[in-house]
Amino acid sequence: MMNCADLGRGWALLCTAFDAPVPDALRIQQDVLIVVDGRGMIDAVLERDDPRRAALEAAHAAAGTLQRLPEGQYLLPGMVDLHVHAPQWPQSGKALDVPLETWLQEYTFPLEARYGDAGFATSVYDSVVRTLLANGTTTAMYFGTIHAVGNQVLAERCLALGQRALVGKVAMDEPSQCPPYYKDASAAEGIAETARFIDWLRQHPDNAQQRVLPVITPRFIPSCTDELLRGLGDLAGRTGAHVQTHCSESDWAHAHVLERQGRTDAHALHDFGLLTRRTVVAHANFLTADDVALMARTGASVAHCPLSNFYFANSVFPARSGREQGLGMGLATDISGGYSPSMFDACRHAMTASLALHEGVDPALDASQRGRAGQGVQARIDHVFALWLATAAGGDALDLPIGRIEPGHAMDALAIDCQGPDSNVQIWPGADGPADILQKIIHHATRANVASTWVQGECVHRRQAAGAVGAVTAV
């Protein structure tokens, strides 16, 4: 526990905080004192009647290290985006009306091929990191490209701007699925470049706290030879690094792997050594019951990408049933297959997708035949479940102490301003209690509502300068 002698290494915040430490369980901490230590970790969350609070509050006030959220602002855990294609940011919001093959070959691969240019990479990556921080995303799991220089630029922009991130060098070498101008020259090169990137990032002089982590990143099984996949699995075993890839995303991808491997994506990834406690697979819409059981045993997790699943997978990931079967998971924007950089939008898309899965959408069918509700299966998730997906679940998937407002977790958080001039969140005094306020935040919040963003106790984004309306105030 922090004492007065430690005040030079920490600070404290007076606020009302919301979080969802587990699905379907909203925690409301009203008028609490959050004590942050010098490492940026939450040391204590103290209620009004806690005997320790008065002395600590007074001591921080005297030291000038006490802050208070203004009226109308509320604290949430920082958002954790488990799947972002950072190099695709320039095409976000376009080419969503074309077939997947066209999207990849005419838009995505030519764009990703440009990131051998450090200047171009810097302009794009500076923009995407700043944008995500402004939207409240404190942790992002990034796909990079095959280009070492571009991946280094992405990692360094995250370090410079203060975002917690995981960055992966994309590995892809299968000639039948990769354009000749955009692929690793060989499996050996893809493995060696991945290993070099891991070593470079872990030893980076600005990364002593390991706030930015390397990720082994085979694009997906169809674009990788068995030799590449096997070598990356060996690398994962040797280094303990995180792993990310796409898995059973669509009918085509699922069927392609079955035909080539004679087994599903999940089982193939496991046999290659790529399904670990630190693995996050994107989409996973076509997991079988056996796949789910395997992933639950290994501790691997799914990045739920509700918006891009509608566009390119023609399916809905069953988040509720996956959770009930012990499957780890979190939420993702999937830029640019998903067009929005906001995890609040991702929450809303996840709720909408679950409703479509639960109720069904075809009026030509009898109500009992449309969705899983007719089968007696609960598929719907609400705003609390969505908040858990976007925060605590993502932290658990990454095996990192983030996503909760509680002692022992990093002070990764955002302040939501419900009274800003451009706010869509309307709170009606006397009618809206704390639980109502959180529900309105999840359904209405935009970038305009994100007043401040902290990562590891450091304010890395502030909507307005200190002292302006809506800024965090010193007490």
SS3 388: helix
Give domain status of residue 176, yes or no: yes
Confidence (pLDDT) at 469: 43
Residue pair 190/173 in contact by the 8 Å Cβ criterion? yes
Contact between 81 and 137 under an 8 Å Cβ cutoff? The reply is yes
Q: Are residues 188 and 266 in the same domain?
A: yes
Distance, CA of 12 to chain centre: 26
| Confidence at residue 284, expressed as pLDDT on a 0 to 100 scale | 96
The whole model's pTM is what?
0.95
Name the DSSP class of 411. -
With H, G, I as helix, E, B as strand and everything else as coil, classify residue 440.
helix
For residue 186, what are the domain limits?
79-398
What is the spatial distance between Cα 204 and Cα 186, in angstroms, rounded to a whole number? 27
> Which of residues 346, 372, 398 is at a domain's end?
398
Q: Is the pLDDT of residue 270 over 90?
A: yes
Please tell me what DSSP assigns to residue 387: H
Pairing type for strands 458-462 and 450-455 reads: antiparallel
Taking the chain, what is the end-to-end CA distance rounded to the nearest angstrom? 22
328: domain CATH number is 3.20.20.140
Q: Which residues, at least 6 apart from 187, have a Cβ–Cβ distance to it below 8 Å?
A: 173, 225, 227, 228, 231
Judge whether 410 lies within some domain: no
Does residue 43 belong to any structural domain of this protein?
yes
Which of left, alpha, beta for 360 (phi over 0: left; psi -120 to 50: alpha)? left
Q: pLDDT tens digits for 365-415?
A: 888 888 888 888 889 999 999 999 999 999 999 999 999 999 999 999 999
**Which residue type, as a one-letter code, is found at position 342?**
S
Closest CA to 125 of 109, 148, 144: 144
pLDDT of res. 471: 58
> pLDDT digits over 191-209, tens only?
999 999 999 999 999 999 9
pLDDT tens string 445-467: 999 999 999 999 999 999 964 44
**Model confidence band, residue 64 (pLDDT cutoffs 50, 70, 90):** very high
- 390 with 346: CB under 8 angstroms? yes
Q: What is the arithmetic mean of pLDDT over 84-107?
A: 94
Same domain, 277 and 156: yes
Please indicate, yes or no, whether residues 48 and 194 belong to a single structural domain of this protein. no
> What mean pLDDT value characterizes the chain?
94
Asked whether residue 470 carries a pLDDT value surpassing 80, the answer given is no
Q: What angle do CA 149, 153, 156 make, to 5 degrees?
A: 135
Instruction: Give the bridge partners for 453, in sequence order.
Output: 414, 461
Q: In this predicted model, which residue has the larger pLDDT, 4 or 248? A: 248
- Domain count along the chain: 2
Residue 70 per-residue DSSP state:
P
Contact 272, 245 (CB under 8 A): no
Same domain, 435 and 347: no
Question: In the predicted model, is pLDDT for residue 431 greater than 50?
Answer: yes
Residues 378 and 390 grouped into a single domain: yes
Is there a contact between 103 and 46 (Cβ–Cβ < 8 Å)?
Answer: no
Angle at 236 between CA 287 and CA 114, to 5 degrees: 85
**pLDDT mean over 8-32:** 94
What is the distance of C-alpha 469 from the center of its chain?
30
Q: Report H helices in 64-108.
A: 100-102
171, 238: one domain = yes
pLDDT in tens, 154-164: 999 999 999 99
Concatenate the DSSP letters of all residues of 297-313 into one string.
Answer: HHT-EEEE-HHHIIIII
Share of the chain above pLDDT 90, in %: 88
